[in-house]
Amino acid sequence: MNPEQHTILRQLGANEFEGMKIRVWKYGRIAEDLGGIPPLRKQRENEIQAIEKRIHERGRGDEKSGRHERLVDTRGYREARRIVRYISPAGDMFDANVVLFYKKEKNAVEWLVSDGRTVVLDAGLYENRLPSTLYNQQSDRLVHYIPSVDDRGAYQGIVTIVEEKRRPGHALRKPDQKSLLPGFHLSPDAIKLIAERFGKPDAKKPRKPEHYFAPIVSNIFSEHDVPTLAGKMVCHLYDTLIMRTTDRVQTYDGEYSDLGTFAFDTFNEYVQKILNARRQKGNDQIEYLLDRGPGTDAFHFAGDTTVVQSFLFYFNKSTSHWRHPQDRLTRAYITLDQNDLRKTPLHFVDLCLVLYDAGVDFSAKCTSPYGQAKRMENIVVYIVESDRDRASDIIKQFMNERKLGGGHLLAASPSAQDGLSWAYEPAEYEMRLWREVSGSSGGTSFNMIATMYALPLYLDALIVACLKVGDSASAEKYRREAERMHALFQKYRITH
């Protein structure tokens, strides 16, 4: 098996195929519960923990119940995330996202084997593996486990996973980390790192609660919403996660406006040129519109051509043309160099066409020169989870060929590829949590949720700062808001 091979084909007999289909379906259900709303998650955790406990009470080979433990030691091995395509004798097929483990020894690839079989774990379960309460967690190792099921979907045991203990913050900084499940998996160290980016409150004159305001123009709050103090503060602090720490020096007033006009004209001319060339070859699938309509694949604007807005250029492949429209989305954030703002629209168009021609289901947006100079996420690609690995390879190759990229978003998972970061879409329960915390009636993004999770630490710092200068009234308001957030986190069983 080649470690660079991303889709593995497996021919199965008819009965074996049906059994594997049930297994993969059941793994998906369990993984969704473990990564979903707290009541379901807790119920499923208790269910699986009972199996682990029973196996250890009766021994690893529990012959009476038929349940057993498989021990997998991944220390010294690297993760390889792949798609296994199972094929029946009749030609039916389905895909499963899996995790394997390998290491290279003298130019040869060695795959991790346990009990005489190559270790192949369901990726969704692996992402939501549970910490073992029966094995001692040591300074150099962590022990987690996941359940295993049989061809009828019934529990048959557990897989205990021993792994190296990574440095603090590894959940934030693990290269190419991805999640096949909704929701966030930021460690306490990651949350602290995000809170540090907020900076320390002014020791001499800490900001008062009434000096935080909701954005006047944004899609965060509607005119009927009543923003909370936490909601206003998240909007204020959010920029620290996405803005560059150093800004490009402006040569004269209005530079970004002039560069934006140039970028707009460049994008307009280039898209028309490229699409005309494609039509001459009989490829007329993509349109070019000011504001894209339903059912069309198109380059377009957001209905607004103001050249100094953060995001100016867009591409959408209609979801009616997606192969897996129900798949969860993952975000690829691309951070570009500030030195050449003029070529960014061209890179964006070319990257979208490469992904489109490869059959990837996605949409994308690109910053204006103003946005590129100010923000870390310059091109954002929203990719269906089943296409994520393939899209990742395409994006990396594209960036390497053009020598693009520099830096990573703080809260996102950085790729080994400089300039490429990954993030998840918020889960539905996190959207509900956000609405209760902020007072917004709408949805939100990865970075806003990450900011929300780190806000209680900043509130604690504000309380201390206010008390030191004798502003007990402000300290009390911040304390009540912190307690309200902690109560909501407890309600949704968020632990950071």
The pLDDT of residue 366 is 93
Neighbours of 199 (CB within 10 A): 11
The lowest-confidence range among 64-68, 261-265, 445-449 is: 64-68
Mean pLDDT of 441-459: 92
Give pLDDT, residue 170: 37
Taking the alpha carbons of 16, 22, 23, 25 in that order, is the dihedral positive or negative?
positive
Neighbours of 276 (CB within 10 A): 10
**Three-class SS string for the chain?**
CCCCCCEEEEECCHHHHHHHHHHHHHHHHHHHHHCCCHHHHHHHHHHHHHHHHHHHHHCCEECCCCEEEEEEECCCCEEEEEEEEEECCCCCEEEEEEEEEEEEECCEEEECEECCEECCEEHHHHHCCEECCCCCCECCEEEEEEEEECCCCCEEEEEEEEEECCCCCHHHHCCCCCCCCCCCCCCHHHHHHHHHHCCCCCCCCCCCHHHCCCCCCCCCCCCCCCCCHHHHHHHHHCHHHHECCCCCCCCCCCHHHHHHHHHHHHHHHHHHHHHHHHHHCCCCCEEEECCCCCCCEEEECCCCCCCCCCEEEEEECCHHHCCCCCCCEEEEEECCCCCCHHHHHHHHHHHHHHHHHCCCCEEEEEECHHHHHHECCCEEEEEEHHHHHHHHHHHHHHHHHHCCCCCCCCCCEECCCCCEEEEECCCHHHHHHHHHHHCCCCCCCHHHHHHHHHHHHHHHHHHHHHHHCCCHHHHHHHHHHHHHHHHHHHHCCCCC
Q: Which one is predicted more confidently, 33 or 234? A: 234
Span 465-478, mean pLDDT?
A: 96
Q: Residue ranges per domain, the chain?
A: 7-165, 167-496
Q: What is the pLDDT of residues 89-136, one digit of tens each?
A: 988 888 888 999 988 877 788 899 998 899 999 988 998 899 888 787
Sorting pLDDT into bands at 50, 70 and 90, what band is 337?
Answer: confident
Q: What is the mean pLDDT of residues 424-436?
A: 86
395 compared with 187, residue with greater pLDDT: 395
* pTM score, whole prediction: 0.62
- Give the mean model confidence (pLDDT) for residues 412-438: 88
For the stretch 248-297, pLDDT in tens is 444 444 566 777 888 889 999 999 999 999 999 988 889 998 666 678 89
Percent of the chain at pLDDT exceeding 90 = 44
**What is the spatial distance between Cα 227 and Cα 209, in angstroms, rounded to a whole number?**
13
- 400 pLDDT band (50/70/90 cuts)? very high
| pLDDT at residue 184 tops 50 | no
Note whether 197 and 243 are within 8 A (CB).
Answer: no
Query: What local confidence, expressed as pLDDT, does residue 134 receive?
Result: 79
- Would you say residue 305 has pLDDT above 70? no
pLDDT attached to residue 96: 87
Q: Check residue 419 and give its pLDDT.
A: 93
182 pLDDT band, cuts 50/70/90, is very low
What's the mean pLDDT when you consider all of the chain?
84
Long-range contacts of 296-301 (CB under 8 A, 24+ apart): 297/321, 297/356, 299/267, 299/271, 299/275, 299/349, 299/352
Binning pLDDT at 50, 70 and 90, where does residue 183 land?
A: very low
115-129, 155-169, 185-199, 397-411: least confidently modelled range? 155-169
Residue 228 zone, left/alpha/beta (φ > 0; ψ -120 to 50; rest): beta
Q: What pLDDT band is residue 177 in, cutting at 50, 70 and 90?
A: very low
What pLDDT is stored for residue 249 in this prediction?
43
**Amino acid letter, 470:** G
Mean pLDDT of 376-394: 92
In angstroms, rounded to a whole number, what is the distance separating the alpha carbons of residues 438 and 74?
Answer: 41
189 versus 87: the higher-pLDDT residue is: 87
| Residue 292: predicted pLDDT | 63
